[in-house]
Structure 1
Amino acid sequence: MATVNLAKLSSNLLKNATSRESVELGSLWQNQTVVIFFLRRFGCQVCRWTAAEVSKLETDLKTNGIALIGVGPEETGLNEFVEGRFFKGDIYIDEKKQCYKDLGFKRYNAINVLPAAMGKKVREVVSKASAEGIQGNFSGDLLQSGGMLIVAKGGENVLLHFVQDSPGDHVPLEDITKALGITVSVQSDAKPQCSDDVCTK
């Protein structure tokens, strides 16, 4: 895993998806702790499900003075993503994919992308997403992977740096709140829990 150089990373430019203004990444954590979710692409079904999942924390994060931010590597699929309301935080575009490079988010190639996309973790999330009515498409850059970065207010330290190994990898909500040291009222989508006579979700 790449070591995070916050000083270098902080000067990378992102474009605000709403205002279209360019901002330095470091400005996002200047006055608040931030949870930054780096999507593979806006049309990705798994990314949309993960965005909806992490958005469950948005109210609790805001209460604790923490910002939830989404970053995509390109404009493709942005409008549909916004219209679908998959994500509750602010959205930015990393047009040069510089943050993706600096954070060690790998790129697949034509040979290894298909086995990765057909893996068990991806199939599990796709089935969850489909069950919740979240669909996706194949527009945009299919080879980019993503991850998550949580940075303490003022850029003092990195609380979590997560790099996808499989396109189906994501950070459980419990790991996010643990990294932040906060207690929240929501939980990750749970698998059914069964006793002898009843199953609950």
Structure 2
Amino acid sequence: MANNGASDLSQLIKDIEIEKIQGPSDSKFLKIGSLWESQTVVLHILRRFGCRLCRANALELSKIVPDLESQNIRVIAVGLERLGMEEFLKGGFWKYELYLDEGKKLHQALNLKSLGVFKTLNMILTDKEVKTALQKTKEVPGDLKGDGRQLGATLVFAKGGAVLMDFRQRNFADHPTNASILEACGIDPGLISEITKNSSAGDSQQKTCDTVCS
């Protein structure tokens, strides 16, 4: 979903500080609002580092990061806890900018849902979309450590803070397509090189296999 014009959403979260894990800045912390001061930014709010659906989606999003960065569009991922972060990075599931939001300040400000135990189990066992996604990602290693009930989001902010995409998960398998992210950023998905996509995917998957599966 997109919201044209001035953004109450960007005002709501602009002063929230997140901690740098890997990125270009020398600063240990940055305010969310600094991200869209000079460029468009894709803000990918992760669920759980050990979740194989989250890992598979991070690999999928990674395919278009070079294309986005070539258009001066910044892409960052934000985790909610340190647990599982080292394995996530060593596994090569994400090699771009990564930050932490311990205390889930972003999740709370955005009112992202955290499911109860019964609803979580019911979703895993009976939701067709989740079951299909789990089946498709069965080759991706994962674990059950950490906060498994919190849902995430993918947001795109234009320079200045206008919202170009506001995608919030309805279930654990719910993610925006790469094409929809490119379109929100004003990039025609049809112009993106298949060679670039396939190369990025192959590099990520090989690194994952070499470091996690061995």
TM-score (norm 1): 0.85
> Does residue 16 in structure 1 map to residue 23 in structure 2?
no
Taking the TM superposition and a 5 Å limit, the aligned residue runs for 1:97-176 are 97-118=104-125, 119-130=127-138, 133-155=139-161, 157-176=162-181
Q: Which stretches in structure 1 are left out of the alignment for 5+ residues?
A: 190-201
Report if the CA contact (8 A) 1:67-1:89 is conserved. no
Which ranges in structure 2 are unaligned for 5 or more consecutive residues? 2-6, 202-214
Q: CA deviation at 1:20?
A: 7.9
| Distance (Å, rounded) in 2 between the aligned partners of 1:111 and 1:145 | 15
Give 1:88 shift. 3.3
- RMSD value, Cα: 2.1
- Aligned letter for 1:8? L
Question: Highest relative contact order (Cα 8 Å, sep 6+), 1 or 2?
Answer: 2
C-alpha separation in 2, matches of 1:39 and 1:20: 22
Deviation beyond 4 Å, 4+ runs, structure 1: 186-189
Aligned length: 185
Q: For residue 70 of structure 1, give the secondary structure of its aligned residue in structure 2.
A: strand
- Does 2:13 match 1:6? no
Q: CA deviation at 1:128?
A: 2.2
1:83 aligned partner:
90
Distance 1:20 1:122, change over 3 A: farther
Deviations 1:73-128 (A, max 9, x none): 11111000011111232011111211111222100111111112232222222222
**Are residue 60 (structure 1) and residue 62 (structure 2) matched?**
no
- State which of 26, 30, 34 in structure 2 corresponds to 1:27: 34
Question: Are the aligned partners of 1:164 and 1:170 in contact in 2 as well (CA < 8 Å)?
Answer: yes
* Cα distance in 1 for residues equivalent to 2:58 and 2:97: 12
Q: Provide the C-alpha distance between the structure 2 equivalents of 1:114 and 1:10, rounded to a whole number of angstroms.
A: 34
CA contact (8 A) 1:46 1:129 kept: yes
1:154 deviates by: 2.5
Contact 2:153 2:168 (C-alpha < 8 Å) held by counterparts: yes
For the 8 Å contact 1:72–1:94, the answer to whether it is kept is yes
Q: What per-residue deviation string (whole Å, max 9, x for no partner) do you get for residues 162-186 of structure 1?
A: 1100111000111111111103235
Contact 2:155 2:167 in 1 (8 A): yes
CA displacement at 1:62 relative to structure 2: 0.9
Query: Identity over aligned residues, as a percent?
Result: 35
CA distance in 2, matches of 1:4, 1:37: 19
Output the CA distance in 1 between the equivalents of 2:111 and 2:167.
Answer: 10
Note if contact 1:107-1:145 (Cα within 8 Å) is conserved in structure 2.
Answer: yes
Looking at structure 2, the residues matched to 20 and 152 of structure 1 have their Cα atoms a distance apart, in angstroms, of: 23
- Residues 89 and 95 of structure 2 are in contact (CA less than 8 Å); yes or no, is this contact kept in structure 1? no
Letter in 1 for 2:87: E
Structure with the higher helix share, 1 or 2: 2
What are the residue-to-residue correspondences of 1:174-193 with 2, within 5 Å? 174-183=179-188, 184-186=192-194
